[in-house]
Amino acid sequence: MTATLWSSTTWFSTPWFSTMWSSTTWSSTLWWAGAAVGLALLSALLSLFTAWKPRLLRSVVMPVFALAGLAALIAGLLALITGSVATAELPLGLPWLPWRVRLDALAGFFFCVIGVVSFAVGLYAPGYVRGFEHARDPLPALGGFTGLFLTGMLLVVLADDAFLFMVAWELMSLSSYFLVVFHHDQAANRRAAFLYLLMAHIAGLAILLAFGVMASFGGDFGFDAMRGAELSFAWASAAFVLAFFGFGTKAGLVPVHAWLPEAHPVAPSHISALMSGVMLKVAVYGFIRVVFDLIGEFHWQWGVIVLAIGSVSALLGVLYALMQHDLKRLLAYSSVENIGIIFIGLGLALLFLANGRVIIGTVAFVAALYHTINHALFKGLLFMGAGAILHTANEHDLDKMGGLLRRMPWTGSFFLIGCLSISALPPFNGFVSEWFTFQAALQAWQLESGVLRSIVPIAAAVLALTGALAAACFVRVYGVAFLGQARSRPVRRAGAVPLSMRVGQGVLALLCLLLGVLPTTFIDLFNVVPQQVLGHGLAHATSQGWLWLTPVSPKTASYGAPLAALALFAVIGLGWWLLERGKRRSRRCDAWDCGFAPPTMAMQYTATAFAQPIRRVFGLLFHIDEAVEPQQDGRLRHRLQITDRLWGLLYLPVARAVEKAARRVVRLQSGNVRVYLGWTLATLLGLLWIMA
């Protein structure tokens, strides 16, 4: 697919820009978007050759993939900077329903999210996939489906009609299914992948129905028609509920999150980074597109629902994450938490917009957007770190790690930045979005209804609790994995990872810091999204210059992120310079440990021990099976199994019901071909009867 295929009609909001740039094609946002899709497809195509030459995967396929990410990033940035809306019709699709694409600010923002993580993954992957070259893993499948996965995600964001949207959505779901099942020799992985496929399809069905509701009012499957449709409250709510369920399932909101911690960890780590970092964001994109853009009206009831589900997801997500000792599983649960935080922001936005508080609604909306890109950055970074550990030590159990910072200082430093960011600590990016969300929640006094006024602060309390628990969770992760002493032999022998992996992590780590230190600049950049979607920008947020972030007004709240970061680093540097320079060496000695014998690795607190107080306090939420059992050789063994309570409450009954239904259906399966044909005939007759 080349640029000539796109008949782009582009218009720019700023006159000087259009005169300067519109003559050249390479400045067109759609050209870059097309290039991104084309490169992604190309990387999928090229990976077919890896069957003969495995080396191609890291030397050609993954660099092309990185280029695709870069192109997507450029397209997104251009769309954000120019504020342009570019549309085009593709000569594909059905005769009466041509595929339409549209790259506006919202799509541009998500192009940035997809592009930046894909770019980093493309840099990281060459080192990581090296480990697969000598195994018997099907490399063409790995590279091919990765390329298709990216293509699907980009097309979902580009789509301007429900048809292309659904096709791209399924492409995304299916290709990621094959990536999840990549290590298919283990039964657990196959089960996880199947669960994932099942949930993805239930979600897809709900989304399809939501589009159906809107299309029946708009008269067309194009998004423009849906935007113009006038829905009654009941039908709009139906569309909202369907969309929320569909996209929420894909995003991993509680209680439909169960597939996520199963599926994300079993994929190869760079794929996990893509899935957790980007694919969940595509679901967030879908939700924003449908609810904020296409339905375009807001009701406080929706806001309350989204806020409640978001809060529950955030809290339960982080609590479950705290209980995990498999690093990648932990990170997957933490994605549930962060998606919850994003939806808290979106719920607040709905609430305030429905109450006519446009500015505050926009603040909440921007907070959600900011957390979206933040989560993409640090979750991508953390999954890459987990992948690096897996790569060098072949270990994903926290309780067997330890002391990795001294063995892999680069990965350790980047991982620390990721941990600081995800724990919402200044001066990193996670803090900015959390701060922004708090600022929106604190304007609850502007709401008319007293009940809403009291609900919003409670959501803020949940957010605060979530933040504190996330900090506990990542102190635990970092302290157990990277500090202390190694708890197993492979980890003791771990070493630095290839350069490409370090570069991939470094890019994201740097961005985490940048988005934390210069929030005003970035929010200025993202401001065009609410301008286009909601019709209002943040007028005051950046009015005080790049040093100050003032969401509502300078009097209400301000955060001088660059100054705070500068002061922090300056004081640290000053202290270091005063006290550590020159001959003030410190002497190495044995650990003191209150004068007991030198500590061994077995005396350290494990991840399980670390979480014990929290496990005890929040025990109600888990299904905990804990016992100390004497073994036959007289030794004691501690058994601990923690499961999601929702499994028993929600999934198992459903699964049983499905099984029962399936057993009924089995009766149809007699093995006789003519019986099957009879059923086919009956179905055909039935369908024809309905059509007539």
Partner 1 sequence: MNLEHLSLLQQLMIVLAAVVLFTSFVLLEQARLVAAIHVFAWQGVLVSLVTAIVAASGGLLHLFFSAALTFGLKALLIPWMLHRLVRRLQLDRHREPLPRPALVVMAALALVIFSYWLVLPIVQEELIFTRNIVAVSLAVVLIGLLMMVIRTQAVAQVLGFMSMENGLFLAAVSATGGMPLVVELGVAFDVLVAMVLFGVFFFQIRESIDSLDVDRMNRLTERADDQ
Partner 2 sequence: MNASSWVLLPIQALLYIALAPLLAGWVRKIKARLQNRRGAPIWQPYRDIYKLFTKETRIAHTASPLFGIAPYVVFSATLLAVTAVPLLSIASPASAIADVIVIAGLLALARFFLSLAGMDVGTAFGGMGASREMFVSALAEPAMLMAVFTLAMTAHSTNLASVVDYQLHNGEILRPSYMFALAGLVLVAIAETGRIPVDNPATHLELTMIHEAMILEYSGRHLAMMDWAAQLKLLLYGVLLANVFFPWGIAQEMSAAALSVAFAVIVLKLALLGVLLAVSETVLAKMRVFRVTAFLNLALLFALLGLLSHVILEVGA
d(CA 400, CA 405): 14
For residue 449, the partner it binds in partner 2, partner 1, none, with Cβ less than 5 to 8 A by kind, is partner 1
What is the total count of residues that contact partner 2 (CB under 8 A)?
Answer: 83
Among 90, 202, 464, 624, binds partner 2 (CB under 8 A): 464
Enumerate residues 617-676 that contact partner 2 by CB under 8 A.
Answer: 617
What is the total count of residues that contact partner 1 (CB under 8 A)?
Answer: 8
**Only segment of 138-146, 291-299, 365-373, 443-451 that touches partner 1 (CB under 8 A):** 443-451
Residue with tokens 């930046």: 116
Does the protein bind partner 2 through residue 308 (CB under 8 A)? no
**Of 159, 199, 372, whose CA–CA distance to 277 is shortest?**
372
Does the protein bind partner 2 through residue 424 (CB under 8 A)? yes
At its nearest, how many Å lie between partner 2 and the CB of residue 354?
19
Does the protein bind partner 1 through residue 458 (CB under 8 A)? yes
Enumerate residues 584-603 that contact partner 2 by CB under 8 A.
Answer: 584, 586-594, 599, 601, 603
Q: With the CA atoms of 628, 629, 635 and 640 taken in that order, what torsion angle do they form, in degrees rounded to the nearest 10?
A: -50
**Only segment of 116-124, 525-533, 604-612, 632-640 that touches partner 2 (CB under 8 A):** 604-612
At its nearest, how many Å lie between partner 1 and the CB of residue 456?
11
Enumerate residues 522-561 that contact partner 2 by CB under 8 A.
Answer: 548, 554-560
Among 431, 522, 526, 622, binds partner 2 (CB under 8 A): 431
- Tell me if 56 sits within 8 A of 46, measured CB to CB: yes
What is the full DSSP assignment across 37-99? HHHHHHHHHHGGGGGT-THHIIIIIHHHHHHHHHHHHHHHHHHHHH--EEEEEEEEEETTEEE
Does the protein bind partner 1 through residue 455 (CB under 8 A)? yes
* Measured CA distances, 633 to 262, 310, 359, 626, 639 (Å): 35, 49, 68, 20, 16
Does the protein bind partner 1 through residue 441 (CB under 8 A)? no
Tokens at 152, concatenated: 């699907």
Does the protein bind partner 1 through residue 450 (CB under 8 A)? yes
Enumerate residues 649-678 that contact partner 1 by CB under 8 A.
Answer: none
Q: Tell me the HSE value of 266 on the side-chain side, using a 13 A CA sphere.
A: 26
Among 468, 539, 655, 685, binds partner 2 (CB under 8 A): 468
Does the protein bind partner 1 through residue 444 (CB under 8 A)? no
d(CA 321, CA 328): 10
At its nearest, how many Å lie between partner 1 and the CB of residue 440?
20
d(CA 289, CA 166): 14
| C-beta closer to partner 2: residue 43 or 423 | 423
Coil, helix or strand at residue 134: coil
| C-beta closer to partner 1: residue 41 or 348 | 348
All residues at 6 or more sequence positions from 405 whose CB lies less than 8 Å from its CB, including other chains: 412, 413, 416, 482, 483
For residue 612, the partner it binds in partner 2, partner 1, none, with Cβ less than 5 to 8 A by kind, is partner 2
Does the protein bind partner 2 through residue 604 (CB under 8 A)? yes
At its nearest, how many Å lie between partner 1 and the CB of residue 462?
11
**Only segment of 145-153, 378-386, 452-460, 490-498 that touches partner 1 (CB under 8 A):** 452-460
Binding characters for partner 2, 608-627, by CB under 8 A (x = yes): -xxxxxx-xx----------
Tokens at 673, concatenated: 């071909």
At its nearest, how many Å lie between partner 2 and the CB of residue 591?
4
For residue 566, the cross-strand partners are none
| C-beta closer to partner 1: residue 141 or 354 | 354
d(CA 530, CA 521): 16
d(CA 63, CA 436): 36
DSSP state of 580: H
At its nearest, how many Å lie between partner 1 and the CB of residue 328?
31
- Tell me if 345 sits within 8 A of 437, measured CB to CB: yes
Does the protein bind partner 1 through residue 616 (CB under 8 A)? no
Coil, helix or strand at residue 11: strand
For residue 620, the partner it binds in partner 1, partner 2, none, with Cβ less than 5 to 8 A by kind, is partner 1
Q: Which helix (H) or strand (E) holds 636?
A: strand 636-644
At its nearest, how many Å lie between partner 2 and the CB of residue 252?
23
* Radius of gyration over every alpha carbon of the chain, rounded to an integer in angstroms: 26
Coil, helix or strand at residue 395: coil
| C-beta closer to partner 1: residue 540 or 623 | 623
Binding characters for partner 2, 235-274, by CB under 8 A (x = yes): ----------------------------------------
What is the full DSSP assignment across 181-241? TTSTTSHHHHHHHHHHHHHHHHHHHHHHHHHHHHHHHHSSSBHHHHHH----HHHHHHHHH
DSSP state of 598: P
For residue 468, the partner it binds in partner 1, partner 2, none, with Cβ less than 5 to 8 A by kind, is partner 2
Enumerate residues 472-531 that contact partner 2 by CB under 8 A.
Answer: 472, 475-476, 478-480, 482-485
At its nearest, how many Å lie between partner 1 and the CB of residue 449?
8
Residue with tokens 């005890």: 616
| C-beta closer to partner 1: residue 301 or 413 | 301
Burial class (CB in 10 A: 0-12, 13-18, 19+), 524: middle
For residue 186, the partner it binds in partner 1, partner 2, none, with Cβ less than 5 to 8 A by kind, is none
Burial class (CB in 10 A: 0-12, 13-18, 19+), 394: exposed
| C-beta closer to partner 2: residue 612 or 680 | 612
At its nearest, how many Å lie between partner 2 and the CB of residue 463?
9
All residues at 6 or more sequence positions from 34 whose CB lies less than 8 Å from its CB, including other chains: 1, 2, 3, 5, 6
At its nearest, how many Å lie between partner 2 and the CB of residue 604?
5
Largest separation between any pair of C-alpha atoms in the chain: 93
| C-beta closer to partner 1: residue 499 or 617 | 617
For residue 546, the partner it binds in partner 1, partner 2, none, with Cβ less than 5 to 8 A by kind, is none
Enumerate residues 389-418 that contact partner 2 by CB under 8 A.
Answer: 402-403, 405-406, 409, 412, 416
Binding characters for partner 1, 575-614, by CB under 8 A (x = yes): ----------------------------------------
Among 5, 451, 572, 684, binds partner 1 (CB under 8 A): 451
d(CA 211, CA 303): 20
d(CA 91, CA 100): 9
**Residues at the contact surface with partner 1, assessed by CB under 8 A:** 449-451, 454-455, 458, 617, 620
